[in-house]
């Protein structure tokens, strides 16, 4: 979809991957709805075993969500994001986790470089000076190492490659040959955007990370997998298959 001539007609699609987020899901959707933009919410239930499915169906019926996709089983965040991209009808797409770690109120500042015509994609950086909850040291070290390695292979200067907040022109994003099924989607999106010559900007954002007791799902195994994904998606041509 091409960008509208009148920016007041721009529609932003927020893809919300959901896996067992009954405690925060409704609040997250409410925060998205409060953003003063034309927003389409596409929620993808990734085989949740809690009440998330029922909450999504209720929000859809109430018109709070425009589209709900129920995956047949827990296929992974990457698969959920890819399903959301396929279903999105907006001019610009952003990924929004349902766990309240990221603030949708920052959508307008992320959108500005795209609106101005200087960017095809905007990453929200948790390490560029925005307020953030102080948590896990080794997560921070691992993130910075993966970002450094990714930058060496993409020739970018990102400070936060693993950020959830990647806002991309829909026409650009839909053209990328994405294959990741799990958390490798963050690495793959970065690699594919770089290879496609996307004009990428970074904007500082706030971040309120969760503890494992509060429901955080990423652990050291995902970090090891991310290291492989950085090499895989930057050094090898895309192939359709599992991610």
pLDDT at 214: 46
pLDDT (mean) for 60-73: 97
Higher pLDDT among residues 228 and 238, named by residue: 228
Of 11-15, 27-31, 174-178, 231-235, minimum mean pLDDT range: 231-235
pLDDT (mean) for 92-111: 95
Where do the domains of the chain lie, and which CATH numbers do they carry?
9-235 (3.90.550.10)
- Find how far residue 193's CA is from the centre of its chain: 14
pLDDT at 233: 86
Residue 132: HSE in the Cβ half-sphere, 13 Å Cα cutoff: 19
Look at residues 160, 166, 165, 167 and name the one whose alpha carbon lies nearest to residue 139: 160
Asked if 15 contacts 81 with a C-beta cutoff of 8 angstroms, the reply is yes
Those residues with Cβ within 8 angstroms of residue 2's Cβ, 6 or more apart along the chain or in another chain: 91, 171
Look up the pTM and report it: 0.87
Tell whether the model's pLDDT for residue 45 goes beyond 50: yes
pLDDT at 242: 46
Phi then psi dihedrals of residue 77, to 5 deg:
-60, -40
- Find how far residue 93's CA is from the centre of its chain: 9
Residue 190 sits at the vertex; the CA angle it makes with 150 and 209, to the nearest 5 degrees, is 85
Q: Where are the beta strands (DSSP E) in the chain?
A: 12-18, 39-45, 67-70, 92-95, 121-125, 166-169, 200-204
**170-218: per-residue pLDDT in tens?**
999 999 999 988 878 999 999 999 999 999 999 999 987 644 444 445 6
Asked if 11 contacts 38 with a C-beta cutoff of 8 angstroms, the reply is yes
pLDDT band with cut points at 50, 70 and 90 for residue 111: very high
**117-165: per-residue pLDDT in tens?**
999 999 999 886 655 554 545 567 777 888 999 999 999 999 999 999 9
Of 6-20, 44-58, 126-140, 178-192, minimum mean pLDDT range: 126-140
CA separation, residue 41 to residues 67, 126, 180 (Å): 7, 23, 22
């Amino acid at each position: 979809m091409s960008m509208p001539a009148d920016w007041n007609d721009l529609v932003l699609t927020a893809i919300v991957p959901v896996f067992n987020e009954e405690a925060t899901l409704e609040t997250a959707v409410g925060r998205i709805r409060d953003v003063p933009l034309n927003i389409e919410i596409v929620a993808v239930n990734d085989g949740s075993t809690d009440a998330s499915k029922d909450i999504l169906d209720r929000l859809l019926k109430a018109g709070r969500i425009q589209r709900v996709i129920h995956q047949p089983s827990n296929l992974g965040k990457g698969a959920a994001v890819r399903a959301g991209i396929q279903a999105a009808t907006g001019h610009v797409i952003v990924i929004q986790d349902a766990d309240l770690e990221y603030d949708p109120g920052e959508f307008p500042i992320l959108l500005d470089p795209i609106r101005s015509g200087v960017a095809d994609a905007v990453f929200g950086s948790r390490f560029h000076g925005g307020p953030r909850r102080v948590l896990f040291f080794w997560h921070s070290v691992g993130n910075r190492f993966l970002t450094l390695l990714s930058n060496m292979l993409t020739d970018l200067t990102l400070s936060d490659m693993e950020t959830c907040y990647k806002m991309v022109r829909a026409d650009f994003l839909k053209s990328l040959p994405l294959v990741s099924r799990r958390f490798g989607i963050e690495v793959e999106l970065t690699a594919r955007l770089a290879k496609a010559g996307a004009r990428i900007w970074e904007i500082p954002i706030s971040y309120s990370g969760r503890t494992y007791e509060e429901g955080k799902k990423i652990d050291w195994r995902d970090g090891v997998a991310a290291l492989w994904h950085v090499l895989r998606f930057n050094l090898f041509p895309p192939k359709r298959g599992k991610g």
